[in-house]
Structure 1
Amino acid sequence: MQKVLITGAAGFLGSHLCDRFIKEGFRVIGMDNLITGDLKNIEHLFKLQNFEFYHHDVTKFVHIPGDLDYILHFASPASPIDYLKIPIQTLKVGSLGTHNLLGLAKEKKARILIASTSEVYGDPLVHPQNEDYYGNVNTIGPRGVYDEAKRFQESITMAYHTYHGLETRIVRIFNTYGPRMRLNDGRVVPAFIGQALRGEDLTVFGDGSQTRSFCYVDDLVEGVYKLLFSDYIYPINIGNPDEITIKEFAEEIIKLTNTTQKIIYKELPINDPLQRQPDISKARKILNWEAKIKRTEGMSKTLEYFKKFSKEELARSEHRNFLKN
């Protein structure tokens, strides 16, 4: 039985990856410091013999006894509310945490996949964004702590591959949604759904003409899985190129939830990307991958998940001047 370490295991994406690798017959070690993760996301795995959990911060030295075949580094705050609240920890997990895990991979002769993000493209001047585009990022702006942590993460990963011959993979993740997202994490999908379920008007920043491209979590996990077992060492976009404006998306949520809220507009946050759409030509060609789940289907599944929240939980999740990611 091959062994995989998944960092950020109690988070949204990490928990779904744990499920997938358990399903594929791996022995899974989940690791999380629980700053933004929630044990509820993986508690169903605790009874399994081939799953174990380490409560640990990857910015500290990481030790795993015995052999290790694969590492998936998904530990990082991923929403604006989180990384604006804990900017230093965000920078450290992208730098020190990645360094520690690359060192562990080198020691264990394991293959490591690093979770990067479409935010490395910043507010793009190229549309759609392809992997050859270097980005337009404000290093000292409020989003820089996340964007630059991920850009450094890619650089040190490629350095370990080039200098040490380490087997590395880099996935650039575009907006992903689905069950286990936190209602108050500041990202557009849970923010809109939470407002709709609480009977609030939906808040759109700017005039709503900025675009996003939403990928359902099952599609994302499939892309990550295929990339890990491919021979491709350079960054690759994984996302759904079905682009939509934020205003149109807010209207979709109102229709989906069968509510009568209005859309209200607020000032656009600094450096908020005006366009976000992945060019997935490489993923199609190299991985034979593309997103299959339509937004109508994925949003219906996501809404059903959030409908299970109690009124008290919904009230506690009331947005805190959230920013769109």
Structure 2
Amino acid sequence: MSTKVINWGIIGAGKIAAKFATDLQATSNSKLYAIASRSLSKAEEFALDFKADKAFGDYESLVLETNIDAIYIATPHSFHKAHTILCLNNNKPVLCEKPFAMNLLEVNGLIKVSKEKNILLMEALWTAFLPHFQYVQNLLKNKHFGNITRLEADFGFHPPYNESSRLFDKSVGGGSLLDIGIYPIFAALWTLGRPNTIEANAQFFDLGSDSECLMTFKYEDAEANLKSTLLEETNTEAIFHCEKGTIKINGRFHEPSTVTLIDKHGNSELKSFNYKTIGYSFEIEHFNQLIREGKTESDIMTFERSRELIKTLDDVRSIIGLKY
């Protein structure tokens, strides 16, 4: 079972699907079996680039393919629920790109179907599986520099504004919060837990999607200052200020990166992790193993963690007045 080849299908043939497919080729005993896009020509081009056996111009045909062991969903946010349920109802394990869905109600619906069908489902928040992030988590858990007093985490870039791009289109969940704000929020939740209070304010594009969101999570003895923006390039770092030193995940913290440790005397040490892939390979390997072991839920990206993440995103949206 440990060497069973996992045949993957991918729904959606955009940029993130291409990154995923690239890393799929670097994982052991994995194969891209099929790709589906709303455009058959686009699917066929993708299949040629990544050596997939089959290409489909609709999603249903891929889901019905009997040789597929797992499906990665790489469509825009607002379609995650429908596409995930389509797969689960056809007994296909699903790795769904973050955010899992648009709100807590939708996420609970996905989890309900997964449990009823007894089919594996996981949110694809790749950062949770990256060695440098897990290293920092362990340092913080073991209080390497004592307790966290403050976290600063940001994610910002400045793409050209395009009303038709899914990044800016509010109807498909566009804007900074769901697309990139999820990463600073994730960093806070996984290291400090749910905050006691949340403060947030945002700026908006003319068509209603958020261009920038500033958040402050307050805890009993700590604070997290978080930022997502589509208006400027930022360092995209996660800096954990602790009682006896600082742990910094260097830019860009959510993807393969390095870690700098700075003690209370100002001495610094750089930790490198010798990444050889884009970084999606780690969540792929984890998901493959879950399939081989017959699991229906990840022990790392658990349903409860996904619920906590989307609930926090919902809370921030409520504060800033963002409705989809």
Higher Rg = 2
TM-score (norm: length of structure 2):
0.42
TM-score normalised according to structure 1 size: 0.41
The structure where strand makes up a greater share of residues is 2
